[in-house]
Amino acid sequence: MYNKDYILRIIVILAATSLILLFFPRSDSRHFQFEMNRPWTHSLLTAPFDIPVFRDSITVKEMRDSLNRTFTPIMKVDNSPRKAVLNRLLSIPGIDPSDRTRLRETVGRLYSDGIVSPEFYNDYIRARGIREVGFVENNTVVKRKVGTLRTPRLAYAVIDSLFHTPRARTAITEFQLATMILPNILIDTVATERLYDDRLRPIEAAIGVVQQGERIIDRGDIVTPQLYAILSTYESMLESRSQASTSENLYVGLGQLLFTVMLLSSLLIYLWIYRRKDFLSLKRLSAILLAITLLYVVATIVAPHISSGIYLIPFAILPVMTVVFFDSRTAFMCLVVEILLCGPLSLFPIEFITVQTLAGLAAIFSLRELTRRSQLLRTALFVFLVYAVSYLAMELLQSGTISSSTGKLIGFFAINAVLISFAYILIFVFEKIFSLTSMVTLVEMSDINNPILRDLSEQCPGTFQHSMSVSSLASDAARKIGANPLTVRAGALYHDIGKLSNPAFFTENQHGVNPHDALTPQQSAGIIIGHVTEGLKMAEKNKLPQIIKDMISQHHGKGLVKYFYAMEQRRHPGEEISAAPFTYPGPNPTTKEASLLMMADSVEAASRSLPEHTMEAITSLVNKIIDGQVQQGLHSQSPISFKDIKVIKEAFISRLRTMYHVRIAYPSDAKPKSN
């Protein structure tokens, strides 16, 4: 089993490394990261060869727009529509010969003036307001006014206005002359495109040259639109002049591999040294690596396609999730690894790393425990404010002014904060996939209206009251030693649910009759010990989190059922009695919370049998029980310290004195004297 888990951990680590390398941005010495109107972050750049200087993109766009507004297309005359209509008018029926002649003359004159398509008329004459068009005659463009040009509909309107007799109008209508009038002035596509290209070529042509060895830009210089155009030309010329060698690609890939391996290794070493339980747990390790890898993949997809899109990625969602499932120290380590991994994706890595680190710290500090959904909204607000202030600080520090892109970045930060507020959904998904337990789940489990706790209160009222007292005792001490009070509280409420299988065999639920009187000490010990295994079965059946199962199995550790073991010894004086049948299965506590529960469980149960609850009696009881557990080695696998134990003792004594304080005896009412 150990070897299998070891192999699976290696597979998970290799999978995360491979996925990161697969999406690692491909870059080489022919490319630089720069943005218009921002400082140049690289070293001095000189021209290795002559570089043509073109107009910047903004100027080119303005000149191209002006050309499009004023450009006059080249037209050509098509005589076939005129001939076709005039020939058909020779045979128009039902019209006087004089009207036929006049009609043909009118149509001929309209075609001489020119008939154009409705699209051309609307797009050029009406919309653009052109006043003339060109015609190619003897390789020369001849201009012509557009005032006489009509569409087929306007031409037919002229004809309709000239013929008023009913006979002529009827003949023209029935002849469907309106459908026969087609444009004879058409756009000469070939000539128009040739002329347009001739006009456009000077706009896009080079207007100068940067000579070989000439300075292009130095670190700190602002990338103006003109410099941006030169740098873009420089990169494209490098791309076309030479291809990267195989050895160069190999070195770049090797650098990416070393960079990724070093960052992930630092995270794994941290987990091995400081959070070994998380490292050895395949699910917990997989959850950490998956969260880091997924966020990185999303960043590599978004960043290249949206300017400054790297700031749209909610990196603060990673420390939020890590704080919820692990702790703030692990959250900060994951945040650092993630930000350093994504640093090469940003045009300005120093700015990116600074802003994201501060925002991540704000998320960690504002969300020590997630117990309510409203806390996420508060965290999102804090993160947005830190984003905005830190970005403005870096902007002023680097350029001494606020650029035009600052407003867009503030909008990106707002979107980022909204995405962080949806972390609740992602937390729920990770909780189900990797069997993790969030603070929200522990709060929900601590509700005494849950079915298991409701059954415990109804069927085992004494056990339920004992669990409530243990919960209060342990959670109070947990706060004072820095343990998790929610974990202790939930574990205390569920640690004795196994007693539901045999309520009457436990003292707190008995009412005069003790069923142990009919059993041997070994049989009684088996029933008492069985409440741990029965509790684990019930926890499994009700799908309780693993952290609760651990509290159930560890709250007695490998301790003895001393009462029945001593009884067995008294029944067999002088004989060596095996302790195995009287020993809980364990394991011993492995966390501070489990140790706290063991101490509180024993102390609370024993305190009920004290004949009097004086300060001396309570102090003696607490010291005796906890010191005895320490001497037996029940807490040897727990990270709890002697300083913690001292604080726990003081907390228990103080809480027990409050629970068992002596009330003032009220005097009885005096009887009135009889007259």
Given a cut of 60, is residue 424 above it in pLDDT? yes
Q: CA-to-CA distance for 53 and 230, rounded, in angstroms?
A: 6
Strand partners, 166: none
Characterize 504-533 residue by residue with b for buried, 16 or more Cβ atoms within 10 angstroms of its Cβ, and e for exposed.
ebbebbeeeeeebeeeebbebbebbbbbbe
Q: CA-to-CA distance for 89 and 101, rounded, in angstroms?
A: 9
Region 228-239 average pLDDT: 79
Distances (CA, A) of 296 to 34, 190, 359, 361, 410: 21, 51, 17, 19, 22
491 touches 591 (CB < 8 A): no
Is residue 46 very low, low, confident or very high in pLDDT (cuts 50, 70, 90)?
confident
452-482: per-residue pLDDT in tens? 999 999 999 999 999 999 999 999 999 999 8
Phi, psi of 367 (to 5 degrees): -135, 70
Given a cut of 70, is residue 422 above it in pLDDT? yes
pLDDT value, residue 675: 40
Given a cut of 50, is residue 1 above it in pLDDT? no
Region 591-600 average pLDDT: 95
Nearest to 269 by CA among 277, 260, 279, 259: 279
Is residue 169 very low, low, confident or very high in pLDDT (cuts 50, 70, 90)?
confident
Query: Taking all residues of the chain, what is their mean pLDDT, rounded to a whole number?
Result: 87
pLDDT value, residue 661: 67
Name which residue leads in pLDDT, 30 or 584: 584
Helix residue spans in 23-56 (DSSP H):
none
pLDDT value, residue 263: 95
Q: CA-to-CA distance for 251 and 254, rounded, in angstroms?
A: 5
Strand partners, 76: 186
Element (H, E) at 210: strand 208-210
Region 522-542 average pLDDT: 93
245 touches 72 (CB < 8 A): no
Name which residue leads in pLDDT, 413 or 38: 413
Given a cut of 70, is residue 548 above it in pLDDT? yes
Given a cut of 80, is residue 36 above it in pLDDT? no
Element (H, E) at 45: strand 45-46
Given a cut of 80, is residue 403 above it in pLDDT? no
Distances (CA, A) of 267 to 256, 289, 622: 17, 10, 41
User: Which strands, in side-by-side order, build the sheet including 185-187?
Assistant: 140-145, 132-137, 74-77, 185-187
Q: What percent of the chain is modeled with pLDDT above 90?
A: 48
pLDDT value, residue 533: 94
Helix residue spans in 482-560 (DSSP H):
485-494, 521-541, 546-554
By the 10 Å C-beta count (0-12 exposed, 13-18 middle, 19+ buried), 271 is classed as buried
Q: CA-to-CA distance for 146 and 152, rounded, in angstroms?
A: 15
Is residue 560 very low, low, confident or very high in pLDDT (cuts 50, 70, 90)?
very high
236 touches 32 (CB < 8 A): no
Is residue 28 very low, low, confident or very high in pLDDT (cuts 50, 70, 90)?
very low
Given a cut of 50, is residue 29 above it in pLDDT? no
Q: What percent of the chain is modeled with pLDDT above 70?
A: 93
Length of the chain (residues):
675
- Three-state secondary-structure class, residue 662: coil
End-to-end CA distance of the chain: 92
Nearest to 279 by CA among 12, 21, 15, 554: 12
Q: CA-to-CA distance for 250 and 254, rounded, in angstroms?
A: 6
Least confident segment among 53-57, 252-256, 663-667: 663-667
pLDDT value, residue 370: 66
By the 10 Å C-beta count (0-12 exposed, 13-18 middle, 19+ buried), 405 is classed as middle
Element (H, E) at 137: strand 132-137
Given a cut of 90, is residue 432 above it in pLDDT? no
Q: CA-to-CA distance for 319 and 338, rounded, in angstroms?
A: 10
Region 81-88 average pLDDT: 92
pLDDT value, residue 373: 66
Given a cut of 50, is residue 244 above it in pLDDT? no
Nearest to 17 by CA among 387, 277, 297: 297
Name which residue leads in pLDDT, 673 or 68: 68
Given a cut of 60, is residue 2 above it in pLDDT? no
- How much helix, strand and coil, in percent to the nearest 5, is found in the chain? 65, 5, 30
Is residue 539 very low, low, confident or very high in pLDDT (cuts 50, 70, 90)?
very high
Q: Which domains are present in the chain?
A: 2-24+248-434 (no CATH), 74-187 (no CATH), 453-659 (1.10.3210)
Region 318-344 average pLDDT: 93
